Amino acid sequence: MQDLTAASFEAHVGTTFRIHLGGEARVEAVLQAVKLLEPHPGPRAQPFSLFFRGPGQPVLRQAIYPLEHEGMGTLDIFLVPIGPDPKAGGMLYEAVFN
C-alpha cells in the first residue's frame, strides 16, 4: 500500500469500486475525488485522501474493506463514513493515506 500515490487513483476518478462486505454481499461506490493533504512527518511523502460516494443504504461502518476495481485490482482500504451527499444523494466515505 505504500507504493500507492494520489496519482495512482487520479486516473480512476468517476469510476466504480466494488466494496466487499463479506460473503457474496457487495455495494458499489464511485471515486469522487482525490485530495492532497498537508505534508507531515510520516511514512508517506505526500499524504492524500480519497472520497467515494456509495448508496444511501446500507451505511457502512468505519472499517477496512476489500475494494475491487477493474484497473487496480483488489485493495484493502480503511473507509470512514463522513455523511450523506447533499448534491447527488448516497453516502460519502473517506479513505486517508498518511
Q: What is the mean pLDDT of residues 31-38?
A: 96
pLDDT of residue 2 exceeding 70:
no
Q: What is the pTM of this model?
A: 0.92
pLDDT of residue 98: 86
**Would you place residue 86 in the very low, low, confident or very high pLDDT band (cuts 50, 70, 90)?**
confident
pLDDT of residue 27 exceeding 90:
yes
Cα torsion angle, 61, 53, 18, 79, sign? negative
**Would you place residue 44 in the very low, low, confident or very high pLDDT band (cuts 50, 70, 90)?**
confident
Query: Does residue 81 contact residue 63 with C-beta atoms inside 8 Å?
Result: no
Model confidence pLDDT, tens digit, residues 59-80 = 999 999 999 999 999 999 999 9
Residue 52, number of CB atoms within 10 A of its CB: 24
Q: Which amino acid would we find at residue 65?
A: Y
3 state DSSP class of 51 = strand
Q: Which amino acid would we find at residue 34?
A: V
pLDDT of residue 81: 98
The grid cell for 36 is: 492532497
Average pLDDT value over all residues in the chain: 93
Q: Which amino acid would we find at residue 18?
A: R
